Amino acid sequence: MPSTKRPLRGSKSFWPRKRANNIYPRVKTWPVVATAVPLGFGAYKAGMTHIMITDTNTNSKTKGQMISKPVTILDCPPLFVFGIRGHSLSDSVDVFVDKFNKNLSRKITLPKSPKTVLTKLDGKKFEKVTLICHTQPAFKKTPEVFEVALGGKPEEQLNYAKSVLGKEIKVSDVFKVGDYLDAIAVTRGKGFQGVIKRFGVRLQRRKNEQAHRKVGTHGQNEPGKIRIGVPQAGQLGFQTRTEFNKRILKISSGTDINPKSGFVNYGLVKGDYMLVQGSMPGVRKRLIKLRLPLRSFATKYPVDIKYISLESKQGD
């Protein structure tokens, strides 16, 4: 057998590669937590910068030294809980607040005569209880509406949901500094692309029938069809992706994180924000759903930030 000169490029776990149905993703799986707490949150990417931080990882070669880390700034306006949904085997029961945000009518059909009736939830056995929330972004009128799962038993979930109905949930109520999170978002759309950019296929040699940016073969003659694993041109980007175990470096509130002229193509962050190590999927002003880590086995280390760069940066 010949030795492998070039490993296979691209992951086949994301298939089919097609456009996402919505501009923001849907969380299909939630972690199991013993206490009744929200398991997720919503944030918007404002931009990226770099920080100087003391390496507190005891297994690192740079332990105790000051190192540079790229971070993503997430604008985290509070979520408003305007409804409770109880899920059972047969159906679901919804309870809403009396007063709605006027701009919610752009997203959902609002009841004509809203009235909070919590007694609809009494005496019923639910499999789970979730919060119906909407975001409150400062840069646009139309909010995003989605459900946030809760930890604990159904009885504890119901009691917690009743206590926060009509109130706001802050990012500090869900995440803490030094913890890890999962980021779920719709990536940047790049349109229809060929196999070179879409799969990283190797360029053909000079005398290859003048077809340099194509695959060498589509497969065997019989049966006369192309298998699903053969690289082909198609949609690239604008696809739902999940990144696991992103480390939280800072959670704060205020305008101390803003560059002098604001973030490029975003503006100023005026409320709660979060610094997450590394990059995040998606583009600016697009909702990123944050979730408690589903499969986190990473060790938590203290966070000691020495310097945060406030220079304006063009990249995401």
pLDDT digits (tens, 9 = 90+) for 217-268: 888 888 888 888 888 999 999 999 999 999 999 999 998 999 988 899 999 9
Residues 50 and 100 in one domain: no
- Total domains in the chain come to 2
Percentage with pLDDT > 70 across the chain: 94
The per-residue DSSP string of 112-167 comes to SS----GGGGTT---SEEEEEEE---SS-SPPPEEEE-B-S-HHHHHHHHHHHTTS
Residues 195 and 291 in one domain: yes
CA distances from 138 to 246, 267, 273 (A): 25, 10, 13
> Does residue 132 sit within a domain?
yes
Give the per-residue pLDDT at 8: 59
Number of residues in the chain: 316
Give the per-residue pLDDT at 18: 85
pLDDT at 159 over 80: yes
pTM for this entry: 0.87
Residues 190 and 51 in one domain: yes
Give the per-residue pLDDT at 298: 77
Say which residue, 103 or 84, is predicted with more confidence. 84
pLDDT digits (tens, 9 = 90+) for 36-77: 999 999 999 999 999 999 999 988 999 999 999 999 999 999
pLDDT at 176 over 90: yes
pLDDT at 185 over 70: yes
Q: What is the mean pLDDT of the chain?
A: 88
Residues 144 and 83 in one domain: yes
Beta carbons within 10 angstroms of residue 49's beta carbon: 20
pLDDT at 315 over 80: no
Show which of 169, 193, 217 is a domain's final residue. 169
What does the alpha-carbon distance between residue 28 and residue 187 come to, in Å, rounded to a whole number?
17
Q: Which domain holds residue 253?
A: 28-77+170-201+232-316
